[in-house]
Amino acid sequence: SPAQIGVTGLAVMGRNLARNLARHGYTVAVHNRTSARTRALVEEFGHEGDFVPAETPEEFVAALERPRRLVIMVKAGGPTDAVIEEFAPLLDEGDIVVDGGNAHFADTRRRERRLRERGIHFVGTGISGGEEGALNGPSIMPGGSEEAHAALRPLLESIAAKAADGTPCTTHVGPDGAGHFVKMVHNGIEYADMQLIAEAYDLLRTVAGYEPARIAEVFRTWNTGRLDSYLIEITAEVLAHTDAATGRPFVDVVADRAEQKGTGRWTVQTALELGVPVSGIAEAVFARSLSGHAALREAAAELPGPRRQVLDEREAARFADQVEQALYASKVTSYAQGWNMMQAASEEYGWGIDLGAVAAIWRGGCIIRAAFLDRVRAAFAADPTLPTLLADAEFAKEIGEAQPAWRAVVATAVRHGVPVPGFSAALASYDALRAERLPAALTQAQRDYFGAHTYRRTDRAGSYHTLWSGDRSEVSADI
Ligand code: NDP
């Protein structure tokens, strides 16, 4: 019988996605440039469902029922273009090409436009959850046309992760590159989340004087409350782990250099272009870069810092509680920034993204899955035009209650010389947003002084310029 869907690119992600589809009763055509991978998949996992192995692109395309649905799961970038070029001539009008790789949304927009000219639907789709997610249920973020989504929807809903309330973690995010865009922001938020958790760990270690095993216990407790999430859960696992070779805490034998594959950087670059402040994500990307600058760090290693003394047991317990509050408040602020970015892109590109629905599909399957996302969903469901999560009544109340502890933690970190770029950037963003007057007034006045960039006044309409090098009288700058 013809296959209902096909997957080309059978490395870890493609193979597991194909198996997930087959396990849900779909007949899946499978293809890979190097056909040894195709044969290996069928040999090892053929018993899990109906696979139709194809040696060539022609065979693959011929195996699919019409309109064809095929998923590309190859290395992002040039390889994706190569595969599209190879398959496009073999396809017919109305066929649907899904790109499940980590494409940049601008590439997806370009590819979608090109294929649309040929009558082919191109569905750039964010898939999160790593290989485990691909097999057992990822969070799936498809872009592309409504029509293509309608044809894919039952398949995507059956293989996606399910949230606690049973809803599949997938929704049509919006046209063309919208799916890959929100996947990128997901990863940016993931960077920020990981940085904040790392800072919380550093504070508990350096200021409270807790050992990793004890910090693991603290994270386990946090994981039963409002911070309940996959990243907090795995943090406890990692911190509780002992290195077999040395008997030391595992975290102490790992080199302190965090690498990155680039989606965090894309998020920040794109945020700069959209003019959206995402300081939490940016600090997380910079913190990873800094960690890798061996020469810089060595050159600065002897610079003076404060004398450190760990807190006594009672103070430490109180401090740990404050760190939980600071972590939560910083997390909400970083997420608020990520959501602002999706809001801005949705307007810029006319995507009509349902911001609550995005939170809903991140409740399961993906790396940032967290109990708290159900509340983000509820906040945007209650008010789809909410300008910032921080303005939601419930979040505002919680952050308001947490802010004294948040300030205390940042102040303590500064006093102890522990870098907390994530916590402090989040707090600065919070304080800047709620400020009645910002010193931006001075900045703009300086701009007028050296560049005649003009300014607006608080007391009347219009643009003005002061003749700084003349008699300092004010002139109207309106034409
Ligand atoms: P890789 O990114 O390592 O890519 C390997 C696959 O790409 C192989 O099937 C390979 O074929 C194929 N390929 C590479 N170049 C070409 C080419 N020029 N023409 C045809 N095929 C080519 O595989 P992953 O499974 O790790 O990831 C697949 C996609 O999913 C990537 O875009 C990745 O960014 C994304 N992704 C990965 C996640 C992860 O956790 N790994 C999570 C979410 C998304 P061959 O066997 O012939 O070399």
3-state secondary structure 71-89: EECCCCCHHHHHHHHHHHH
- The active-site residue, picked from 112, 183, 199, 283, is 183
Distance CA 398, CA 408 (A): 16
Asked if 80 and 101 touch (Cβ cutoff 8 Å), the reply is yes
Q: Whose CA is nearest to atom 7 of ligand 1?
A: 74
Q: Is 401 helix (H, G, I), strand (E, B) or coil?
A: helix
Mean pLDDT, residues 22-39 taken together? 98
Distance 312 CA to ligand 1 centre (A): 51
pLDDT one-digit tens code per residue, 214-233: 999 999 999 999 999 999 99
Rounded to 5 degrees, φ, ψ at 65 are -70, 155
Q: Which of 30, 72, 75, 266 to mutate to test the pocket of ligand 1 (most atoms within 8 A of CB)?
A: 75
Rounded to 5 degrees, φ, ψ at 309 are -140, 130
Distance CA 384, CA 353 (A): 10
Distance 128 CA to ligand 1 centre (A): 14
User: 256-281: string of b/e by CB count within 10 Å (b at 16+)?
Assistant: eebeeeebbbbbbebbeebebbbbbb
Q: Which of 34, 38, 73 to mutate to test the pocket of ligand 1 (most atoms within 8 A of CB)?
A: 73
pLDDT one-digit tens code per residue, 168-212: 999 999 999 999 999 999 999 999 999 999 999 999 999 999 999
Helical axes 212-222 vs 230-240, angle rounded to 10°:
160
User: 391-409: string of b/e by CB count within 10 Å (b at 16+)?
Assistant: ebeebeebbeebbebbbbb
Distance CA 337, CA 349 (A): 18
Distance CA 46, CA 245 (A): 38
Q: Is 187 helix (H, G, I), strand (E, B) or coil?
A: helix
Q: How many CB atoms lie within 10 A of CB 48?
A: 13
Q: How many CB atoms lie within 10 A of CB 248?
A: 11
Asked if 74 and 102 touch (Cβ cutoff 8 Å), the reply is no
pLDDT one-digit tens code per residue, 307-328: 989 999 999 999 999 999 999 9
Asked if 396 and 333 touch (Cβ cutoff 8 Å), the reply is no
Structure tokens at 345: 């892109």
- The active-site residue, picked from 190, 199, 283, 324, is 190
Structure tokens at 364: 């399961």
Q: Is 65 helix (H, G, I), strand (E, B) or coil?
A: coil
Ligand 1, residue 130: give the atom nearest the CA: 40
Residue whose tokens read 């509780």:
240
pLDDT one-digit tens code per residue, 96-122: 999 999 999 999 999 999 999 999 999
**260, HSE (Cβ side, Cα atoms, 13 Å):** 24
pLDDT one-digit tens code per residue, 32-70: 999 999 999 999 999 999 999 999 999 999 999 999 999
Q: Is 190 a catalytic residue?
A: yes
Q: Whose CA is nearest to atom 20 of ligand 1?
A: 33
What's the confidence (pLDDT) of residue 235? 98
Q: Is 122 helix (H, G, I), strand (E, B) or coil?
A: strand
Helix intervals (H) in 92-141: 105-117, 130-136
Distance 67 CA to ligand 1 centre (A): 25
pLDDT at 1 over 80: no
ipTM of the predicted structure?
0.98
Q: Which of 148, 132, 17 is nearest to 71 (CA)?
A: 17
Asked if 213 and 240 touch (Cβ cutoff 8 Å), the reply is yes
Mean pLDDT, residues 333-350 taken together? 98
Distance of CA 109 to the CA centre of its chain: 19
Q: Whose CA is nearest to atom 1 of ligand 1?
A: 75
Q: Whose CA is nearest to atom 46 of ligand 1?
A: 34
Structure tokens at 474: 């004010």
Q: Which of 8, 10, 13, 84 to mutate to test the pocket of ligand 1 (most atoms within 8 A of CB)?
A: 13
Q: Is 157 a catalytic residue?
A: no
pLDDT at 279 over 80: yes
Distance of CA 152 to the CA centre of its chain: 24
Q: Whose CA is nearest to atom 21 of ligand 1?
A: 33
Distance 160 CA to ligand 1 centre (A): 20
pLDDT one-digit tens code per residue, 383-417: 999 999 999 999 999 999 999 999 999 999 999 99
Ligand 1 surroundings by CB, under 6 angstroms:
9-14, 32-34, 37, 73-76, 79, 82-83, 101-102, 127, 130-131
